[in-house]
């Protein structure tokens, strides 16, 4: 699925380890595309994505998107 030009995107950064948390929370973090602490990904701003972020809000943070794009 290609990103459309008008679709908004958000950047997500993993700030804590998934070790010690529920296995499903680790799967959500992996589903967002994050692999390790400090890793950042840019994803489409969609209600499903926002729901995933809400489930693991103690592990990830939303960082401002780069304005130079």
Instruction: Inform me whether the pLDDT recorded for 69 exceeds 90.
Output: no
Q: Are 63 and 38 in contact (CB under 8 A)?
A: no
Domains of the chain listed by start with CATH number: 19-63 (3.30.1390.20)
Instruction: Inform me whether the pLDDT recorded for 3 exceeds 80.
Output: no
**Ramachandran angles phi, psi of 53, nearest 5°:** -65, -40
Query: pTM above the 0.75 mark?
Result: yes
Q: What is the chain's mean pLDDT, rounded?
A: 89
The model's pLDDT over 5-24, given as tens digits with 9 standing for 90+, comes to 456 899 999 999 999 999 99
The model's pLDDT over 30-42, given as tens digits with 9 standing for 90+, comes to 999 999 999 999 9
């Amino acid at each position: 699925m290609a990103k459309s030009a008008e679709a908004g995107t958000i950047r997500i950064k993993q700030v804590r380890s998934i070790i010690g948390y529920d296995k499903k929370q680790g799967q959500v973090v992996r589903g967002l595309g994050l692999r390790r602490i400090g890793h950042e990904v840019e994803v489409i701003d969609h209600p499903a994505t926002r729901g995933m972020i809400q489930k693991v809000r103690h592990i990830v943070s939303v960082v401002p998107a780069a304005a130079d794009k």
